Amino acid sequence: MPVYEYVVLDQKGKQKKGILDAEGQGAVKQRLRAKGYYPIEIKEARQQKKAHVKGLDFLGRFFGGVSKAELNSATRLLSTLLSAGLPLDTALQAIIVQMQNPHFKKILAQVKDSVTEGNSLAFALGQQPRVFSNLYVNMVRSAEASGTLELVLERLAEFGENQQMLMNKIRAAMAYPLFMTVIGSLVLVFLISFVVPNITKIFQQMHHALPLPTIILISVSRFMGNYWWGMLLFFVLIFLCAIIFKNKPKVREFLDLLRLRLPLIGPIYTKLIISRFCRTLGNLLMAGIPIITGLQIAKNIVQNVHVNRVINNAMDEVEKGRALAEGISRAGLFPGIVVQMIAVGEQSGQLEKMLIKAAETYEKEIEANITALTSILEPVLILVMGVVVGFIVVSILLPIFEMNQLVR
């Protein structure tokens, strides 16, 4: 359904601007006149570049349409406007005007229309599952029931911003090693495939016995020069197989286990999962959501088959009246300190606060571990590149030294 921007005059003759989701301009006029407005201008949003909008729609389908930063910003702005006493539909309208993403504008317009028609905000958000997660919708539903919508929205914004900040720190820390790896690999491939063959032609034409390193270098250079297309095809096939088979149960179980067991990366990934689980469940409990529902939502946020299995077992134990700490301790995936903090929280009646503390503790550990890992990776990458380049240089110089000795 298209989104229309409009300019109207109200009953006092003042101009107002807004956005509506409707079947056509006629439907927009009818709805505006029903509200007592006189339409001056109605136009479809971004109508001047339909091809560009289609491209954006395609990118929206591919990338999800709305970034985490945009969602967090809209959530915080909505919390602020509601705290200032604005009605929900007015606050949503103000946010729609502020947003730059046309895809997000359309979604928010649909949410506002649904709220205007008498539906709850949680119901309206639930109609957009690609943008608003189960965690988001359930916390809003609980907030509407308890009358604390602005407070819960602020917590949601803080939760999203904390998660985004953590992921940004991880990406920033890994950017330099990844850049070094990619650029270094491309340079080496270029040297071996194009530069080395031109140099080694001289040695081959002399029909002289070559040193072993030079023979190895020439063999590798020939293979990469003749079969580069096969190597490229191999990596493309690997990529396609990963896309096709990654959601197969057996493949996903193997990959999830591999992520947990990988040296260096595995412990960081495990801590990331635990911090996400603890923070999600803690925020849900603070919003007044029952623990079983909270565990079900947190399980969907975690997205790891083996950890989900542990959470399912914990849910069964809680349903039987047992403690959450007892349920998650049996598989051994959750560290003892987390289990103890959860046990203390259950005994003291402050489970949500202990979960948030556990999440904060592990988030700090993740940052420290990432910093330590990058401090190790950088010199290792430089050393590996140096060894490879040194091997190429030595392989080229050895025959030259031997020829000089023969000439003498």
**End position of a domain, from candidates 45, 61, 76:** 45
Q: What percent of the chain has pLDDT over 70?
A: 89
**Below-70 pLDDT ranges, the chain:** 1-4, 13, 18-23, 44-64, 204-207, 404-408
The pLDDT value recorded for residue 354 is: 92
In a domain, residue 261? The reply is yes
Which helix or strand (DSSP H or E) is residue 43 part of?
strand 38-44
Q: Are 279 and 359 in contact (CB under 8 A)?
A: yes
DSSP 66: S
In a domain, residue 147? The reply is no
- What is the distance between the alpha carbons of residues 184 and 93, in angstroms, rounded to a whole number? 50
Instruction: Dump pLDDT digits (tens) for 247-286.
Output: 788 888 888 888 888 888 888 888 888 988 898 888 888 8
In a domain, residue 107? The reply is no
In a domain, residue 177? The reply is no
- Exposed, middle or buried: residue 267 (CB in 10 Å: 0-12, 13-18, 19+)? middle
The pLDDT value recorded for residue 242 is: 80
In a domain, residue 63? The reply is no
In a domain, residue 350? The reply is yes
Q: At what angle do helices 291-302 and 305-319 cross, to 10 degrees?
A: 170
In a domain, residue 163? The reply is no
Domain of 329? 186-408
Mention every residue, 6+ apart, whose C-beta is less than 8 A from residue 196.
217, 218, 221, 392, 396
**Which backbone phi and psi does 237 adopt, to 5 degrees?**
-65, -40
Identify which of 378, 377, 369 has the alpha carbon closest to the alpha carbon of residue 169.
369
How many helices (H) and strands (E) would you count in the chain?
18, 3
Total structural domains in the chain?
Answer: 2
Listed in order, strand segments (DSSP E) in 12-93 are 15-21, 38-44
The pLDDT value recorded for residue 57 is: 39
- What is the distance between the alpha carbons of residues 243 and 29, in angstroms, rounded to a whole number? 46
Q: Are 39 and 8 in contact (CB under 8 A)?
A: yes
Residue type, position 52, single letter: H
CATH number at residue 202: 1.20.81.30
Mention every residue, 6+ apart, whose C-beta is less than 8 A from residue 361.
none
Q: Are 76 and 151 in contact (CB under 8 A)?
A: no
In a domain, residue 64? The reply is no
Q: Are 87 and 149 in contact (CB under 8 A)?
A: no
The pLDDT value recorded for residue 48 is: 36
Instruction: Dump pLDDT digits (tens) for 135-155.
Output: 788 888 878 877 878 888 888
